[in-house]
Amino acid sequence: MNLQLLNKNINDINADIKVEFLTPDELALHVESDLLNKTGFKAEQDSTCFLHEKATLFCGLESKKADDVRAASVSAIKALKASNYVSAKLNILKNDSLTALVEGFVLGGYEFNDYKSKPKEISLKDIILASDNDEAKTIFDEALIVANATCFTRDIVNTAPQELNPQTLAELAEKLAKDNNLGCNILQEKDLEKENMGSMLAVGRASVHGSALIHLSYKPANPKKIISLVGKGLTYDSGGLSLKPATSMVTMKMDKAGACAVLGMIKAVSELKLNIEVHAFIGAVENMIGGNAYKPDDVLVSRSGTTIEVRNTDAEGRLVLADVLSYAQDTVKADRIFDFATLTGACMVALGQYTTGLMGHSHKLKHDLSKAATASGELMGSLPFNKHLKKLLKSEIADISNVASKPYGGAITAGMFLDNFIQDENKNKWMHFDIAGSAYTETPWDCNVYGGTGAGVRLMSHYLKNI
């Protein structure tokens, strides 16, 4: 589907059908109100009505706020794709909702059909937005970059594990670096051994695919800030010897969503040409079972020297991130360090399926990121660190245990585990994003269709663009 913006009057644009968004108040004053009332259309949020004889699709929305516009445009694209119309046109509502309009059409119309032998054919080819001002072009172009980066992220998340393993993820990162003129450094297992990454290496030990640390960098001249983005890249997570139940193992290709999001973020930043230096660090690992798998009761020595008692091999993401965070801090002196990980099911219990959990020490940074989340249309909730929960990570035989001694507050104790590997001078620069619930869905919601959502890309693109 081709989405474009033209600086033309809508009447001068040729298309098969016109799309109109109406609130209930606007419906009452519309020239076609009588006919629309006869169809039962009440302009309720996300409702649609075709008047084929008028070559118009009407879409209801509660208000002209961005969240409502985004949701209504998702309904519009679904209705258009289900029809046989080849092209559609519409007036943009206003510049401050143009981003939401683009996201609704691009993200709501997203499909992943790589494994379908006969994908359903869609007649719709072109959607043309009509605008009468020059400012809209910049907003449109930036929104399209971020939406496409989100779809790029979704594609990687949705790729099956037999195709995407730590090594092929590294190859994908190398291709992105080449296409977007990024710096690229890949650390293979022999390099990880030299870096003393005993924690990360243990997790991937039973896999036939070697683990890798991926470092991409975007370096404009005279950047205003330096940002490090760290992603958990478990290309598949069986749970290891603490094997997941069969039903829980399905969808575990999404355990790489943090890494995929970080790739989408640096792609967006480089294409937006932001004046910010960005480094993406990814721990690419596969957690499998075998005779050489790491075990509960093992004691691992992390890159920082901290020893870790393993009490559950399914709490593996934090073991990978412990070493990657240590490496990232020693490699780049960043103004901000953000890690993204599908870390805990407990985060979904705390905040629900759709909301990202935010953890860290700086209240100001939490506030700024929460504002960015709201503005970008992503849902995020803050979970507070608690010194009493920290005691639950105590180990009798090592410096720290990889799981808490009690099941309560599991998302927070996982975040506090990572905090042990954040250097003191970086405590107020670091934030942890638990995207376990928000990164993947089997039930479409808002602009998210089945599969990977690309959680974090829109949020971080908005934050970095306005930093």
Closest-CA residue to 122 (of 132, 114, 133, 113): 113
Query: Residue 170 — φ and ψ, nearest 5°?
Result: -65, -40
Contact yes or no for 203/211 (Cβ under 8 A): yes
What contacts 23, CB < 8 A, 6 or more positions away?
43, 60, 61, 62, 63, 64
Query: Residue 121 — φ and ψ, nearest 5°?
Result: -80, 135
Active-site residue among 70, 232, 318, 336?
318
Query: Residue 124 — φ and ψ, nearest 5°?
Result: -65, 125
Helix spans in 316-362 (H): 317-331, 345-351
Distance CA 26, CA 22 (A): 6
Active-site residue among 54, 244, 311, 465?
244
Query: Residue 431 — φ and ψ, nearest 5°?
Result: -140, 140
Tokens 């981003």 -> residue: 99
Confirm whether 244 is a catalytic residue: yes
Instruction: Enumerate the β-bridge partners of residue 278.
Output: 218, 227
Closest-CA residue to 343 (of 434, 409, 259, 282): 434
Three-state DSSP state, 160? coil
Three-state DSSP state, 222? coil
Distance CA 283, CA 318 (A): 10
Residues forming the active site: 244, 318
